[in-house]
């Protein structure tokens, strides 16, 4: 039943996405609502989100494939697959955001090593290769002596790629909302939280019925999710309260945008209520946390909250003008400080989500990732 | 007449408005005519800057240091510089290199306007160049920050890093898009579109026709001090079109240049000095 639902949701979202992909390739960025002021929009937010889940998924995979934690036995391969699928979704999202997608090879051959984006592209490339190799080994030769070294390198890379996203934003000294020294530290925590939520959904929906560890896995992941959620809120409280007390106008405006401005509903309803408080309420109760579907749906809610949170990091900082009078200085398309994604942007994101859902479901089925041992597969 | 009344009258007499009212009455006064002749005899700053520009071009590029000085007291907010820039570089909708920021100050009846033309600041410590993953934007040897359109991947990290919002993205829109087409002999979208897209732009001295998915569409674009004009010994378009003579351009490494004189004045300032970007655009306030 759940698989059918997943295929349906994946199919419908991808179908809607196909129109978005067509529009993106036929008309470029013309029908997007981001512009020269709000320079990064929904796709960059979704890239942050998917890349976070990819890094977090790998971190969770190490519990089985590197640290041999008994309770997580058999979850490593599905975590790796989820990580890979999300990496692909992240790269689609950011790739389509580029003005010249087919010039990406220049980053490899004519790149600027001191640019964070250059480092991230190389990081993702290595991370992707290592994830594939680790998945192949974990599936075919789980006793290979190369698996653990690969997982060690992959773990380091997963911290690097998630921290680098924080640094990419944090180095913008002219945007106080992003210019937070701890951003590169916070993002790996966000990633781990996303990875745990993804695994809640994956094990809850698709885990083996006869797996005696399943309930315990869900309980541990629930507790981990709750703890990480609290840590995440602590980080947010620290950022927001310091911004408000510090009273730097650009920073205060950005925080106000989130709390009471254009995006209040996304913050209070989507992120806090649906994406945090409701999952928190159920996941602290063992009976729900160990219930397959309850835990899985809470994982989905957590993921949706994290996706919204990524948007609320990107958009508000950009909707505050660098110079106040810039708002009315010159008028033209894509020269506005207000941002809400266009239908085409939603469609592309829908397609990306569809690819991720279908990719995960088909892969987990064909690769039989939920078997306890590879031999069963 | 009491003293305060006299003071009030004097301040009125001194005002420019009052000067304007009494000016016609003074037209025939011989001493005024003489002064006017002197003013006309003075060399236009454009002539001087043009001469200095040619002098600077005799030097090697690395020896030059182009700067722009904008006298905010002389700017009348006509936006001629913005339009000249759009025309010179054939900028499409949504792409702007030199907007003029307009601010209304005070409360009625004590209201005034402040205008701030804002080209790229051509920062010495530019935050926009190190973030580029492919070296597509960099500071050339003359100190001007340029964009290599064929190298830019359109990631827009440089726009995000710029504290002055001096960069815009070319979304590939044309002014004539979605306009009606006229009869063959009339100027409809197809005819006007031809003018808009076929006529080449010459930024960076490169001939570029505007074609779908070809650079500079999908690229980040910015003010480059009209390098293609400078190369030919012509001042930037914004400078020559400034009707208030509020924009000055030249080589700050030439101690005898007008811009060197101006940036040595105590009333000079730069935008967001606290960021340490060291802009090469100065404002006189």
CA–CA dist B77, A84 (Å, integer): 55
Percent of chain A with pLDDT strictly greater than 90: 87
Query: If you average pLDDT over every residue of chain B, what do you get?
Result: 86
Q: What is the pLDDT of residues B107-165, one digit of tens each?
A: 999 999 999 999 999 999 999 999 999 999 999 999 999 999 999 999 999 999 999 99
Residues of A in contact with B158 (CB under 8 A): none
User: Picking from A101-110, A246-255, A258-267, B24-33, which range would have the lowest pLDDT averaged per residue?
Assistant: B24-33
pLDDT for residue A364: 86
Residues of B in contact with A173 (CB under 8 A): 127, 163, 275
- Three-state DSSP class for residue B181: coil
Q: What is the mean pLDDT of residues A252-267?
A: 94
Interchain contact B163–A (C-beta under 8 A): yes
Token pair 């067509």 in the structure block, residue: A22
Q: In what order do the strands lie in the sheet with B66-71?
A: B247-251, B66-71, B281-284, B268-269
Separation in Å, CA of A327 to nearest CA in chain B? 9
Domain that holds residue A215: 7-321+343-366
pLDDT for residue B31: 52
Q: Which residues are registered as beta bridge partners of B68? A: B249, B281
Segment holding B220, helix H or strand E? strand B220-222
Query: pLDDT confidence of A99, banded at 50, 70, 90?
Result: very high
- Three-state DSSP class for residue B70: strand
Q: What is the mean pLDDT of residues A135-139?
A: 94
pLDDT for residue B22: 46
Q: Is the ipTM of this complex over 0.90?
A: yes
State yes or no: cis peptide before B109, omega within 30 of 0.
yes
CA–CA dist A46, A52 (Å, integer): 9
pLDDT for residue B13: 45
Query: If you average pLDDT over every residue of chain A, what do you get?
Result: 94
CB A77 within 8 A of CB A367: yes
User: Picking from A332-336, B7-11, B253-257, which range would have the lowest pLDDT averaged per residue?
Assistant: B7-11
CA–CA dist A188, A262 (Å, integer): 28
Q: Which residues between 97 and 156 in chain B have a beta carbon less than 8 angstroms from any beta carbon of chain A?
A: 99-103, 116, 118, 127, 130-135, 151-156
CA–CA dist B263, A152 (Å, integer): 57
DSSP state of A350: H
Nearest CA in chain A to B213: A28
CA–CA dist A120, A109 (Å, integer): 15
Helix axes A76-97, A116-140, angle to 10 degrees: 150
DSSP per-residue string spanning A19-48 = HHHHHHHHHTTTT-S--SSS-S-HHHHHHH
CA–CA dist A9, A360 (Å, integer): 12
Interface test with B, best of A24, A112, A121 (most B CBs within 10 A): A112
Q: What is the pLDDT of residues A166-208, one digit of tens each?
A: 999 999 988 999 998 889 999 999 999 999 999 999 999 998 8
Query: pLDDT confidence of A278, banded at 50, 70, 90?
Result: very high
pLDDT for residue A296: 96
CA–CA dist A180, A200 (Å, integer): 30
DSSP state of B208: B
Residues of A in contact with B133 (CB under 8 A): 107, 111-112, 115, 117-118, 121
Q: Confirm whether A327 is domain-assigned.
A: no
Residues of A in contact with B212 (CB under 8 A): 28
pLDDT for residue B37: 59
Token pair 């990081």 in the structure block, residue: A123
Q: Confirm whether A59 is domain-assigned.
A: yes
Q: What is the pLDDT of residues A30-73, one digit of tens each?
A: 999 999 999 999 999 999 999 999 999 999 999 999 999 999 99
Query: Between A142 and A29, where is the model more confident?
Result: A29
Q: Confirm whether A334 is domain-assigned.
A: no
- The contacts of residue B50 (CB under 8 Å, 6+ apart) are B233, B234, B235
Q: How many CA atoms lie within 13 A of A340 on its CB side?
A: 8
Per-residue pLDDT at A293 exceeds 80: yes
Interchain contact B269–A (C-beta under 8 A): no
- Three-state DSSP class for residue B101: strand
pLDDT for residue A368: 74
The answer to whether the Cβ–Cβ distance between B134 and A110 falls below 8 Å is yes
Per-residue pLDDT at B176 exceeds 90: no
| Residue B204 Ramachandran class (φ > 0 left, ψ -120 to 50 alpha, else beta) | left
CA–CA dist A103, B151 (Å, integer): 8
Token pair 């934003």 in the structure block, residue: A169
Strands B100-107, B268-269: pairing is unpaired
pLDDT for residue B183: 66
Percent of chain B with pLDDT strictly greater than 70: 79
CA–CA dist A283, A269 (Å, integer): 19
Residues of A in contact with B278 (CB under 8 A): none
Separation in Å, CA of A250 to nearest CA in chain B? 12
CATH 3.40.630.10 fits B43-284, yes or no: no
Residue-range domain boundaries for chain B: 1-42, 43-284
Q: Confirm whether A304 is domain-assigned.
A: yes
Q: In total, how many domains does chain A have?
A: 1
CA–CA dist A206, A2 (Å, integer): 8
DSSP state of A328: G
The CATH number covering residue A183 comes to 1.20.1630.10
The answer to whether the Cβ–Cβ distance between B96 and A117 falls below 8 Å is no
Phi and psi for B169 in degrees, rounded to 5?
-105, 135
Q: Which residues are registered as beta bridge partners of B145? A: B139
Per-residue pLDDT at A233 exceeds 70: yes
The answer to whether the Cβ–Cβ distance between B133 and A107 falls below 8 Å is yes
Q: Which residues in B122-148 are b (16+ Cβ under 10 Å) and which e?
A: bbeebbbbbbbbbbbbbbeebbbbbbb
Percent of chain B with pLDDT strictly greater than 90: 70
Q: Confirm whether A257 is domain-assigned.
A: yes
Per-residue pLDDT at B9 exceeds 50: no
From residue A120, alpha-carbon distances to A56, A167, B133 in Å are 16, 10, 10
Q: Confirm whether A264 is domain-assigned.
A: yes
pLDDT for residue B185: 59
User: Picking from A119-123, B96-100, B195-199, which range would have the lowest pLDDT averaged per residue?
Assistant: B195-199
Per-residue pLDDT at B15 exceeds 60: no
Q: What is the mean pLDDT of residues A204-217?
A: 89
pLDDT for residue B36: 54
Q: Confirm whether A375 is domain-assigned.
A: no
Residues of B in contact with A39 (CB under 8 A): 156, 159-160, 169
Q: Confirm whether A326 is domain-assigned.
A: no
What's this model's pTM, rounded to 2 decimal places? 0.89
Q: Which of A187, A211, A209, A164 is nearest to A64 (CA)?
A: A211
Query: pLDDT confidence of B82, banded at 50, 70, 90?
Result: very high
Count chain A–chain B contacts defined by CB atoms under 8 A: 155
């Amino acid at each position: 039943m759940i698989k059918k639902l997943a295929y349906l949701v994946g199919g419908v979202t991808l179908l809607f996405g196909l129109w978005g992909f067509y529009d993106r390739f036929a008309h470029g960025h013309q029908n997007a609502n981001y512009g020269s002021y709000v320079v990064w929009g929904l796709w960059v937010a979704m890239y942050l989100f998917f890349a976070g889940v990819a890094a977090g998924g790998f971190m969770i995979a190490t519990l089985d494939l590197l640290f041999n934690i008994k309770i997580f036995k058999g979850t490593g391969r599905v975590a790796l697959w989820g990580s890979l699928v999300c990496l692909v979704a992240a790269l689609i999202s950011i790739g389509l955001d580029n003005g010249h997608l087919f010039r990406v090879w220049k980053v490899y051959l004519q790149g600027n090593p001191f640019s964070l984006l250059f480092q991230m592209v190389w990081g993702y490339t290595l991370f992707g290769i290592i994830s594939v190799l680790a998945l192949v080994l974990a599936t075919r030769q789980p006793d290979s002596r190369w698996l653990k070294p690969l997982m060690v390198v992959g773990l380091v890379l997963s911290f690097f790629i998630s921290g680098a996203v924080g640094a990419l934003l944090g180095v913008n000294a002219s945007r106080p909302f992003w210019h937070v020294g701890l951003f590169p530290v916070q993002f790996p925590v966000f990633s781990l939280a996303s990875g745990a939520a993804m695994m809640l959904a994956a094990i809850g929906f698709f885990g083996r019925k006869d797996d005696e560890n399943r309930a315990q896995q869900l309980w541990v992941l629930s507790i981990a999710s709750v703890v990480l959620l609290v840590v995440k809120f602590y980080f947010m409280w620290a950022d927001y309260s310091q911004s408000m007390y510090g009273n730097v106008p650009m920073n205060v405006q950005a925080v106000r945008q989130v709390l009471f401005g254009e995006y209040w509903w996304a913050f209070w309803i989507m992120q806090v209520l649906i994406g945090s408080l409701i999952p928190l309420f159920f996941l602290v109760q063992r009976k729900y946390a160990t219930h397959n579907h309850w835990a899985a749906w809470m994982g989905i809610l957590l993921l949706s909250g994290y996706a919204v949170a990524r948007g609320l990091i990107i958009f508000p900082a950009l909707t505050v003008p660098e110079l106040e009078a810039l708002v009315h200085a010159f008028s033209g398309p894509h020269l506005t400080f207000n941002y809400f994604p266009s239908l085409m942007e939603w469609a592309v994101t829908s397609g990306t989500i569809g690819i991720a859902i279908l990719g995960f479901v088909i892969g987990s089925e064909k690769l039989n990732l939920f078997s306890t041992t590879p031999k069963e597969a | 007449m009491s003293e305060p009344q006299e003071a009030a009258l004097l301040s009125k007499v001194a005002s420019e408005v009052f000067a304007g009212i009494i000016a016609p009455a003074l037209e025939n006064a011989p001493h005024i005519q003489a002064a006017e002749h002197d003013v006309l005899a003075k060399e236009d700053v454009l002539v001087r800057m043009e001469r200095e520009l040619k002098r600077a071009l005799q030097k090697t590029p690395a020896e030059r240091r182009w700067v722009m000085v904008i006298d905010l007291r002389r700017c009348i907010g006509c936006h001629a510089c913005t339009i000249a820039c759009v025309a010179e570089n054939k900028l499409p909708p949504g792409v702007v290199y030199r907007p003029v920021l307009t601010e209304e100050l005070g409360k009625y009846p004590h209201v005034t306007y402040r205008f701030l033309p804002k080209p790229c600041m051509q920062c010495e410590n530019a935050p926009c160049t190190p973030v580029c993953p492919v070296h597509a934007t960099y500071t050339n040897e003359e100190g001007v920050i340029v964009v290599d359109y064929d190298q830019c991947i359109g990631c827009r990290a440089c726009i995000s890093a710029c504290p002055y919002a001096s960069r815009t993205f070319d979304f590939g829109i044309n002014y004539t898009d979605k306009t009606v087409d006229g009869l063959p002999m009339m100027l409809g979208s197809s005819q006007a579109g031809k003018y808009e897209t076929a006529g080449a732009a010459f930024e960076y001295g490169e001939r570029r026709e505007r074609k779908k998915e070809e650079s500079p569409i999908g690229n980040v674009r910015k003010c480059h001090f009209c390098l293609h004009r400078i190369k030919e010994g012509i001042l930037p378009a914004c400078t020559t079109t400034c009707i208030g003579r509020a924009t000055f351009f030249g080589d700050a490494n030439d101690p005898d240049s007008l811009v060197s004189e101006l940036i040595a004045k105590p009333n000079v300032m730069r935008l967001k000095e606290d960021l340490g970007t060291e802009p090469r655009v100065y404002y006189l306030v």
